Amino acid sequence: MFISFEGIDCCGKTTQVKLLTEQLTEKSIDYLLLREPGGTIISEEIRTILLDAKNKNMTQITELLLFSASRAQLVSEVIKPALQKNSLVLCDRYVDSTTVYQGYGRGLTLGAVKTINRVATFDVKPDKTFFLDITVKEMESRQALSNVKKDRMELNNDEFYSRVREGYLEVANEEPERFVVIDGKQSIETIREIIWKEVEGMLPIKY
């Protein structure tokens, strides 16, 4: 089973991934936790290039291809073998991030982005995707409170993030059976319960 987590920056997905792994561990359920970009030696090196704020002159096409190269390595080296063994795979971001950030956000041709996505993923898609939805205004408030230095991808303007959010909502609307859209302004505990209820329903053994 393959589960991904998506959302704009500071939506809380990484927190929820951590909480889910804690619940799985408590119930002695094995899982494999990954992040994108990253997850392999090659993919982590590409991640460094992508997120380094010094690389501000990176072209949009270069960005798209680097994210896709990182993903192709992760899928072929880690995700596909794990799924073939019936492992539970959790991924903090996956292919939907490229669709919305590079497609809707950067304005690259969606048809081309989706074709590259299919090649890079070998058509491996998540069984369930949790999208934690927050407004751009809420994102900015959380960023101000976190006081963490922004990486290259986080230096985009409000208009960019508005397009990304709308992209997520459109993609979720196109695949309602895969996507679970969650109001990210709810309490951490409420969101945790929503996610666990969905995951528990997918597990072969009920807990």
Chain segment 94-112, per-residue pLDDT in tens: 999 999 999 999 999 999 9
Beta strands in the chain (DSSP E): 2-6, 32-35, 89-92, 128-133, 179-183
Q: Which domains does the chain have, with CATH numbers?
A: 2-202 (3.40.50.300)
Chain segment 31-65, per-residue pLDDT in tens: 999 999 999 999 999 999 999 999 999 999 999 99
Chain segment 109-139, per-residue pLDDT in tens: 999 999 999 999 999 999 999 999 999 999 9
